[in-house]
Structure 1
């Protein structure tokens, strides 16, 4: 229901007083003229809407669209129900339409002929493949250490955190480097193979130059140093789809947690100090920390139970 304004209440009070004491007394009491009272008495039919101000909008305009133009627009809209404003206006101009695009927009909105928006296709994600045992697939990624964590002489330099996380147990291995290159990736992979207690079948990475030459040198088929280490150990290298970091979601999520739990409250000087603090954090606050996807077990517990008893967390 539309709201009742103060002017409408004033008019109703004016009419009721005039009916009781006369128009002349009502005009003197309410400080208005008799014509105003007679006009609203004649218009009043007992409803609030009759006391509402009427629209002052003109019924016609010398520059309004002609019937022929409206017919052309209706026919064009019927044939092109989903066409946007600009394309629709250009098509009309090709058929003799001379009005501006703003004038066309106002007419379309007034006549209810705005384009019909097609529903966006619903994204249905594919079910993620669940791993059955440790080492079946390991995700590897590189994180640039926030510059705000570096102090003194190391301020302005770049440190890198290499991270590998087993998809089955969520067990994680991290290492720090002062450069991001295929050489650093190969060194990290060699240390990972020594630390992880089970054989690794597949390593999944993004398409960074520290892992592959897929986009930097597509014609060069020679493997990088990182890929040669994988081949020498018979490990399959899986590259995720470009620009979709969610496919490496477990390691990306762990990096986000590192920002919240570690980097937000730590500073490092020098590089050896950063490396030591990161190792302590990863061992104590990640591999030993209970996780809901693991049934509130820690990654180290899940890995140890599988190796010792073949116990799964699902």
Structure 2
């Protein structure tokens, strides 16, 4: 049952007062006009439901669907109950239907004929492969230094942060560069191999052209980047993540997000040498020596050192 509104109560009170004291006094007391009172007195049949405001929706519309169009829609819906709105509209158009897609949508929704879209299959993430020792796989990525951090003579320049992170120990190696290219990637890899105390078996990167020509428009068989040549030289496997899926390089991506919060949000750089120096200090003091929860609040430096000295694993 519909609820009784304040307007209905007001009209009932108005009518009862008019019956007792007259329409004129009721109009003065309730601050309305006589025509309003007479209209509701004519509609009042003794029940408060008769004082409810009626719908103003028209019974007919000059542009409503014709019986022939309704029959066409019902016949087509019976044969195509699961067709989407656009597909259903195209099928109708091929049989002489001239209405727009919004017009068809309103009719189908009103008649309850909209196709029920099945839910998308739930994505079930595969368990990530856990590394068993340092150097088994290292993730590498490049971060563009925010322009808001560059001041004075560094204003308008572009600096890049190359980052490598060992998946087992979370030990990280970073280096600043002024260019974003395959040559810079090769130089970074050479420095990484010298800095990491254990052999590197695999390097994982995205599909950027600084790492691979996998999706280059002019790629030819055997045409590889300087970075890939350096990997082959040292017998290191190059693993490329799925395109447009940065979460597969999640550890280095997460470290870049932490850099934004801990480093770039609070530092400014006056030159490239200033940026390079500050980056090295930050990485050594606030990252590889910072305790991490996955290792029981041990720092990456400690985990790597204990593995080398005592063969302590954290898998």
Q: TM-score, normalised by structure 2?
A: 0.88
1:205 equivalent to 2:205? Answer yes
Q: 1:29 aligns with which of 25, 29, 35?
A: 25
The SS at the match of 2:265 is: helix
Mark the CA change 1:169 to 1:13 in structure 2 (over 3 Å): closer, same or farther: same
Query: Which residue does the alignment assign to 1:118?
Result: 118
- Counterpart contact for 1:137–1:166, Cα < 8 Å: yes
Q: For 2:40 and 2:244, how far apart are their aligned partners in 1? A: 73
- Counterpart contact for 2:44–2:50, Cα < 8 Å: no
Query: Which residue does the alignment assign to 1:77?
Result: 77
1:167 positional shift: 0.3
1:2 positional shift: 5.3
- State how 1:139-150 maps to structure 2 within 5 Å: 139-150=139-150
Unaligned runs of 5+ in 2: 28-33
Which 4+ residue blocks in structure 1 deviate beyond 6 angstroms?
none
Q: CA RMSD in A?
A: 2.3
Query: Which residue does the alignment assign to 1:9?
Result: 9
The SS at the match of 1:197 is: coil
Q: For 2:44 and 2:147, how far apart are their aligned partners in 1? A: 78
Q: TM-score, normalised by structure 1?
A: 0.89
Query: Which residue does the alignment assign to 1:66?
Result: 66
Unaligned runs of 5+ in 1: none
Q: For 2:168 and 2:111, how far apart are their aligned partners in 1? A: 59
Q: For 2:260 and 2:40, how far apart are their aligned partners in 1? A: 74
- Counterpart contact for 2:159–2:176, Cα < 8 Å: yes
Q: Deviations over 1:44-69 (max 9, x none)?
A: 43xx5432111233333454323332
1:106 positional shift: 2.6
- Counterpart contact for 1:306–1:312, Cα < 8 Å: yes
Mark the CA change 1:187 to 1:7 in structure 2 (over 3 Å): closer, same or farther: same
- Counterpart contact for 1:140–1:203, Cα < 8 Å: yes
Mark the CA change 1:278 to 1:72 in structure 2 (over 3 Å): closer, same or farther: same
1:3 positional shift: 5.7
Query: Which residue does the alignment assign to 1:253?
Result: 254
Query: Number of paired residues?
Result: 307
